[in-house]
Amino acid sequence: MEALANRLTEREVRERLALCSDAQVVDELYDFGRLMLNHSVENTRGLDSKAAQMAAYGGAIVTLLVSTAKAWVPLGNSVTILLAGVAGVSAFVAAIFAVLAMKLRTFDWLGEREWLEDKCFSQLVRLKAFRVLTMWGAMDSHKSANIGKIKFLKTSQRWLSWAVAFILLLLLHIGWSQTLGQTFWIALWKVI
């Protein structure tokens, strides 16, 4: 999130571009802007991929609990059902937040107007400076959308962590009630 804190406004970008008179500097800004724009697009793809994985994990946990319920429900008691229910709900909520992170968003992007800006046809430096500004706009739009994706992903990750924790508690509870618990109580009874 550090990169999101040091963002420039459009006015600041325009002011900085106005200070630039050297063609080589404009070329460097243009090349670096293309690199940063590609990086912003890749970040968005990476966040969507992570969201899809988290939604799949949440769905897999719910599916696992439901499909194997016939095998583990008889092994436990009401606490077993409670732990499984909380794990299932947590996994389902995690999947919902992951899907919300993947929802389609509108981005500002480069179009025909930016490509064929009539005020910039006479000078290459002016055209590249204009394109630096348009790349900044597209990159800023991606960053703004990614902030929302990151918030949903963090929430999904927390819920998924809770789901995994409750599944572990469920397994420990079943193990305890089936083996260790009986052995412990039998040993305690013999001591008393």
Give 88-128 pLDDT, tens digit per residue.
999 999 999 999 999 877 766 666 666 556 666 667 777 77
Block residue for tokens 């799949």: 56
Q: C-alpha distances in angstroms, 45 versus 23, 81, 148, 153?
A: 33, 38, 14, 13
End-to-end CA distance of the chain: 60
Specify the pTM. Answer: 0.75
Cβ 142 vs Cβ 41: under 8 Å: yes
Residue 1 has a pLDDT of: 44
What sign does the dihedral 131-13-47-152 (CA atoms) show? negative
Q: Is the dihedral of CA 64, 73, 71, 67 positive or negative?
A: negative
Across 20-24, average pLDDT:
80
Calpha distance 90→96 (Å, rounded) = 10
pLDDT of residue 179: 75
Q: Encoding tokens for residue 168?
A: 């572990």
Residue whose pair of structure tokens reads 């090349």 in the numeric block? 31
Give residue 117's pLDDT: 63
Both structure tokens of 135: 């790349």
| Average pLDDT for 135-161 | 91
Instruction: Please state, for a pLDDT cut of 70, what percent of the chain lies above it.
Output: 82
